[in-house]
Structure 1
């Protein structure tokens, strides 16, 4: 080949590479951005110190690749016989310890209200309720902020009452009350619901609130054994040891059955797994209770327990 032709060709090749590189970088950036857009923008609102399952659910949510976990709010649980005068601080403390042990950054930890709603229509403002409002308003286009309530509804109900304009920007996933699908009969005498009965009414009565409920009736079927917990987490350090220790040291006050704590209902894990893997749950739509504003809400009526367990332990396999 003629030297000058070769030189000219080489220059054109370098020029092509010069223009191709920015295009490739832009493509990579847009691909990453698209992946992030497909993730669920999520806030977890949890009475973490109340029981055991909250901790397991939160750890799995932090590790779940389909979630963009923005915050873990602390929630109160004042009706527990083990409750202190400031249960929200108990939840806050554990949330902080989980984040520290997992070495994660970028997840906010807003403090919730220590008291339930005292009067219908009047919020109990807190850092948590304000964070929900501020984050909801940051949602762009058709994005929704998903808020998962693992305990009392105080913080979320307060946010709705403080700023109803967020309704079009949020979707609430609530773990609470009992429900019989065949007859559409509700029983609100359930622990989470009892910790703020007024806030539950706010969620049920708010017409334009997009609401799905994982009932105690459905989530009670997701049961972990101590044997399987030990097989996955025992003799490990950090957050794995923390989860095992929580199981072994927490006093189960509501029953004298199973004194050795060989089994535990993972109520909260069920709602997190259902959100991460919608194919593992069946959602049906029902009218709200007759005493509430008549509207349709989604209720999880069936879950794939075996596959939920498999997904959960697969998410935690590298702890």
Structure 2
């Protein structure tokens, strides 16, 4: 009987050790997965996109590239005004807001805030044009740190971001602004602000350029104009696939360009806004240099993209879109 009891005790000890080891292994696996998840979350770029989405076609494609992207922690999409367009109504920001909401609805995503931006440009370089969008930028900037800045991409007018800075300058050290606008000659470092985005709030553009410690990078129209999608490719990838795919095709087909008589059948479209999103997601697709700001602005250095690999950017866009369709 004693031997049987000893055997029972031995079996119990062995079982306990195996059980303990098993649980330790499970704990180890859980901790490893947790650490990987935490690392991935930390490496994702905390991002807000400020978009004049109703202005054209490429804005919609840019937002789709950023949504559910593994490179970004997309916190919000703020709507921007574009009052200088000949097609503009008296509430362009509301038009942008509606399309932002529709894109989110079609992609069935959650936890992306959609604050409404200002409907008018700045009237004074010292006075902000407050809005839920500028308040949201301020709030998220204060949740960031100097070592892990909030990234804000501006696809249209600079009104909302400039207003956030003017309202609360303490956020300057916690944000990195990526602006799509103006023309630039890198050889002569000459600027031309007579460009659509810049023209929708020239004062706001100058606020960004004149803010000494603001971390600012620019995807100029000069560089982004080289990223062109064809209607043939868009149709082959999207047409007839429903949801967001059909929505993008319909936008292309129903929006009529007012600024050029070239390509009347709209067989091609410059994807200005996609270029800046791709550049942020894949800096290896780009080349950039530091330049002095325009002579009329506070003299300081900013970063400007001088080259983009358009083939890699387009291929990456379609690869991401494929993942959206498979969700």
TM-score normalised over the length of structure 2 = 0.95
Does 1:47 find its partner at 2:47? no
1:1-319 to 2 correspondences below 5 Å:
2-140=7-145, 142-318=147-323, 319=325
Q: Is the 8 A contact 1:57 1:269 kept in 2?
A: yes
What secondary structure is seen at the aligned counterpart in 2 of 1:306? helix
Q: Is the 8 A contact 1:76 1:91 kept in 2?
A: yes
The offset of 1:15, in angstroms, is: 2.3
What secondary structure is seen at the aligned counterpart in 1 of 2:100? helix
The offset of 1:172, in angstroms, is: 0.2
Q: Give the whole-Å Cα distance in 1 for the aligned partners of 2:35 and 2:190.
A: 48
What secondary structure is seen at the aligned counterpart in 2 of 1:124? coil
Q: Give the whole-Å Cα distance in 1 for the aligned partners of 2:28 and 2:318.
A: 40
Q: Give the whole-Å Cα distance in 2 for the aligned partners of 1:18 and 1:317.
A: 39
What secondary structure is seen at the aligned counterpart in 1 of 2:127? coil
List, as ranges, runs of 4+ consecutive aligned residues in structure 1 with deviation greater than 4 Å: none
What do the CA deviations read for 1:58-98 (whole angstroms, capped 9, x no partner)? 00110321100000000000000000000000000000000
Q: Once structures 1 and 2 are overlaid, which stretch shifts more, 126-135 or 13-22?
A: 13-22
Count of residues in correspondence between the two structures: 319
Q: Is the 8 A contact 2:227 2:270 kept in 1?
A: yes
Q: Give the whole-Å Cα distance in 1 for the aligned partners of 2:144 and 2:138.
A: 11
Q: Is the 8 A contact 1:153 1:196 kept in 2?
A: yes
What secondary structure is seen at the aligned counterpart in 1 of 2:245? helix
Q: Is the 8 A contact 1:63 1:316 kept in 2?
A: no
Q: Is the 8 A contact 2:146 2:173 kept in 1?
A: no
The offset of 1:142, in angstroms, is: 1.5
Q: Give the whole-Å Cα distance in 2 for the aligned partners of 1:317 and 1:24.
A: 31
Q: Give the whole-Å Cα distance in 2 for the aligned partners of 1:81 and 1:296.
A: 35
Q: Once structures 1 and 2 are overlaid, which stretch shifts more, 303-312 or 135-144?
A: 135-144
What do the CA deviations read for 1:150-182 (whole angstroms, capped 9, x no partner)? 000000000000001001110000000000000
Q: Give the whole-Å Cα distance in 2 for the aligned partners of 1:19 and 1:175.
A: 52
Q: Is the 8 A contact 1:88 1:112 kept in 2?
A: yes
TM-score normalised over the length of structure 1 = 0.98
Q: Give the whole-Å Cα distance in 2 for the aligned partners of 1:315 and 1:12.
A: 47
The offset of 1:121, in angstroms, is: 1.1
What secondary structure is seen at the aligned counterpart in 2 of 1:283? strand
The offset of 1:12, in angstroms, is: 1.6
Q: Give the whole-Å Cα distance in 2 for the aligned partners of 1:47 and 1:302.
A: 24
Q: Give the whole-Å Cα distance in 2 for the aligned partners of 1:10 and 1:167.
A: 60
What do the CA deviations read for 1:196-250 (whole angstroms, capped 9, x no partner)? 0000000000000000000000000001100010010011100000000000000
The offset of 1:141, in angstroms, is: 6.3
Q: Which runs of 5+ in 1 are unaligned?
A: none
